[in-house]
Amino acid sequence: MAYRTLLFDIDDTLLNFQAAEKQALESLFKKLKLPLTSQTYDFYHDENLALWQQFELGKISKSKLLVKRFTTLFDHLGISGIDGQKMEELYRDYLGEGHQPMPQAPEVLSDLCQSHDLYVVTNGVAKTQQRRLSEAHFDHYFKDVFISELVGAQKPAPEFFQRVTADIQPYEPTQTLVIGDSLTSDIKGAASFGLDSVWYNPNHAANQTKIKPTYEIDQLDALETIVA
């Protein structure tokens, strides 16, 4: 089947979020003159992931999530008097500096944009995602960038994809493909809206859910065969 419209996630699909997250947390702890151990990083990473999954389910607002991850982290470390909102603002600036491409991402985007309509679909914070795409020199590949806080709904909700596709012309569901690394956000969202999907799974993680992608790849250049 030929696909014309490609909807790309950003984090850990096109840009290396794991690297950006670690660099940002290291910079924050350096600013605070605190040591960042691997155990502390792992705690933050797991807590942050769990909170974003709650956000996907509509159980927590994004503004509360962004602050809670830091109040929880410093409570865990036994450090009092920390302003979670201030920590979020400092961290956000550092995170915006992280725009390391995922392997093959620049080449694949450069190739595909010549024959397909490319869009971004992300739940990330708008200002940060826009900066990261720009500094990675990826923004010019996309016809539009759809960010949950601007769309007014988040992946995997059908409302998110309904609002996104309403702004895409021409839009044909059978020619539209969602590409992302998250089963619970990208792939579930695509399935809930009746769209085909590609699960980008470079580390060969086990699928422990009932969510089934249309395709699974471990290298981004495999997309070129799928969408041809």
In degrees and rounded to multiples of 5, residue 170 shows phi and psi of -80, 150
How distant is the alpha carbon of residue 145 from its chain centre? 12
The CA distances from residue 121 to 7, 71, 152, in Å, are 6, 29, 12
Q: Is 181 a catalytic residue?
A: no
Distance, CA of 44 to CA of 72 (rounded, Å)? 9
From 180, 161, 184, select the one nearest 9 (Cα to Cα): 180
Distance CA 119, CA 122 (A): 10
Q: Tell which residue, 107, 130, 106, 109, has the closest CA to residue 118.
A: 109
Question: Would you state the structure tokens that stand for residue 142, as one six-digit string?
Answer: 């996309």
DSSP 8-class letter at 141: G
Name the catalytic one among 9, 11, 186, 196.
Answer: 9
Angle, CA 187 vertex, CA 19 and CA 150 arms, to 5°: 70
- Of 144, 152, 79, the C-alpha closest to 113 is 144
CB neighbour list of residue 54: distance below 8 Å, 6 or more residues apart: 60, 65
- What amino acid positions are annotated as catalytic residues? 9
